[in-house]
């Protein structure tokens, strides 16, 4: 359990974290979101005692991290994968960290295997790619088999396979009852990983809610269905209580679930060529939420010319849209 209480951090004239309070509970993946400069990394650094709060407290399992009798057994943190001495090999780096907490060297092989780094363990960290460095950071965090895990943008630099792996890792860690806090800029990524959301902007708490609530409030979904007998299907769906709008050669159905649409079609012997749930853009909802607190706005650019075109009819991928498999 991570508890942050009225946490405030000021760097000179910059108020990086402003009276922030929240609790991260065990057994869940908690997503920590906010635009650039929102104060996510600063908050995480204060949780592990690297930065001292200007006021307020951050505790882990009820006490400041620095008071932990067995730090790495309690918390595994990946703050910045570049925070290592590049002149050492990955294995020696991990051994040094393990020894500092009296963990056996066998742990090093365990986490090297877990993160797929065995083959490069003898190489100097200096030559690592972004993704390899990120995996080493994760390996370091998992050395002590910690009950609390805190990752700052772990998918940064990872390939799609690595991103999927992280997602499963985080879900697995939470399922084992650990406390998992993970920061990200991407709401769509979090929507697939997190159970709970903490959103901050300009150092202040903007939202602290479950992912289900967030999706209910912001993820207006509708069903897209494609059928060679579209004209026969549409009245049946309307009769079942849905609102139906033809959209090129698909029907956009509001008010019915995928299951309902599929059952109605089957009951009437109508073939379906596509059936999926289309979710409103989570990124758009996230940007709405943080609009007033964006530190480094991008100014207003004219829209790229092709954004004026309608989306290709066969593609469920629209700009900014997220597909969720039914």
Partner 1 sequence: MTLPASPTANAASPFALDGPVHHPTTLDVVRSEWLKLRTVRSTFWTLAVTVVVMVGFSVLVCAAQVATWDQLTAEEQQANPINGVSSALAGLSLAQLAVVVLGVMVISSEYSTGGIRSTFTAVPRRARVVVGKAVVLGLSTLVVGLVASFVAFFVGQLILATKHFDVALGDPDVLRAVLGSGLYLAACSLFGLGIGLIVRNTGGGVTISVAALFVLPPLTALIPGTVGDQIQKFITSNAGQSVAATGSAPDRLGPWVGYLVFTVWWLVLIGVGTWLVRRRDV
Query: Where along the sequence are the contacts to ligand ATP (CB under 6 A)?
Result: 11, 14, 16, 34, 36-42, 185, 295
Report the residue number, 41 or 278, with the smaller CB distance to ligand ATP.
Answer: 41
If binding is defined by CB under 8 A, does position 171 make contact with partner 1? Answer: yes
Cβ 192 to ligand ATP shortest distance, Å: 19
Query: Which residues sit opposite 196 in a β-bridge?
Result: 30, 210
Report the residue number, 86 or 312, with the smaller CB distance to partner 1.
Answer: 86
Cβ 42 to Mg ion shortest distance, Å: 8
Cβ pair 148, 60 in contact under 8 A: yes
Query: Which residues sit opposite 112 in a β-bridge?
Result: none
Cβ 32 to ligand ATP shortest distance, Å: 9
Cβ 40 to partner 1 shortest distance, Å: 16
If binding is defined by CB under 8 A, does position 175 make contact with partner 1? Answer: yes
Q: What is the Cα–Cα distance from 98 to 250, expressed in whole angstroms? A: 57
Query: Which residues sit opposite 63 in a β-bridge?
Result: 60
Q: Walk across the sheet containing 55-60 and list its strands.
A: 14-24, 2-11, 55-60
Q: Which among partner 1, ligand ATP, Mg ion, none contacts residue 72 (Cβ within 5 to 8 A by kind)? A: partner 1
Query: Tokens at residue 93, please?
Result: 């780096």
If binding is defined by CB under 5 A, does position 184 make contact with Mg ion? Answer: no
Report the residue number, 121 or 149, with the smaller CB distance to ligand ATP.
Answer: 149
Report the residue number, 38 or 237, with the smaller CB distance to ligand ATP.
Answer: 38
Q: ∠ at Cα 187 (184, 190), nearest 5°?
A: 70
Q: Which is nearest to 18 in space by CA: 60, 44, 53, 66?
A: 53
Cβ pair 84, 136 in contact under 8 A: yes
If binding is defined by CB under 5 A, does position 41 make contact with Mg ion? Answer: yes
Q: Which is nearest to 60 in space by CA: 37, 43, 41?
A: 43
Cβ pair 286, 187 in contact under 8 A: yes
Per CB under 8 A, residues contacting partner 1 are 45, 48-52, 65-66, 68-73, 77, 79-80, 82-89, 92-93, 95-97, 99-103, 107, 110-111, 113-116, 119, 131-132, 140, 142, 144-145, 161-162, 165, 168-169, 171-173, 175-176
């Amino acid at each position: 359990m991570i508890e942050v209480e009225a946490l405030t951090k000021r760097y000179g004239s910059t108020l990086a974290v402003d009276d922030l309070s929240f609790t991260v509970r065990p057994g869940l993946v908690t997503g920590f979101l906010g635009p650039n400069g929102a104060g996510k990394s600063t908050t995480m650094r204060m949780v592990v005692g690297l930065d001292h709060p200007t006021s307020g407290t951050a505790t882990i399992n009820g006490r400041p991290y620095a008071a932990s009798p067995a730090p790495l057994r309690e918390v595994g943190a990946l703050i910045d994968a570049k925070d290592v001495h590049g002149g050492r090999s990955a294995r020696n780096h991990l051994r040094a960290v393990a020894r500092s907490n009296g963990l056996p060297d066998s742990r090093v092989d365990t986490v090297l295997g877990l993160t797929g780094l065995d083959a490069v363990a003898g190489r100097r960290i200096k030559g690592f790619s972004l993704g390899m460095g990120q995996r080493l950071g994760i390996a370091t965090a998992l050395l002590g088999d910690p009950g609390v895990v805190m990752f700052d943008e772990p998918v940064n630099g990872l390939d799609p396979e690595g991103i999927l792996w992280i997602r499963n890792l985080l879900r697995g860690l939470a399922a084992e009852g650990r406390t998992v806090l993970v920061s990200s800029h991407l709401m769509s990524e979090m929507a697939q990983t997190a159970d709970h959301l903490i959103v901050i902007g300009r150092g202040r708490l903007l939202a602290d809610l479950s992912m289900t609530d967030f999706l209910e409030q912001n993820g207006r979904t509708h069903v897209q269905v494609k059928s060679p007998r579209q004209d026969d299907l549409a009245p049946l769906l309307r009769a079942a209580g849905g609102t139906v709008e033809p959209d090129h050669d698909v029907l956009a159905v509001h008010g019915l679930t995928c299951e309902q649409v599929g059952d109605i079609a089957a009951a009437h012997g109508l073939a379906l060529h596509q059936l999926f749930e289309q979710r409103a853009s989570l990124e758009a909802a996230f940007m709405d939420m943080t609009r007033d607190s964006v530190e480094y706005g991008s100014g207003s650019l004219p829209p790229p010319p092709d954004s004026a075109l309608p989306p290709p009819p066969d593609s469920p991928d629209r700009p900014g849209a997220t597909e969720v498999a039914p």
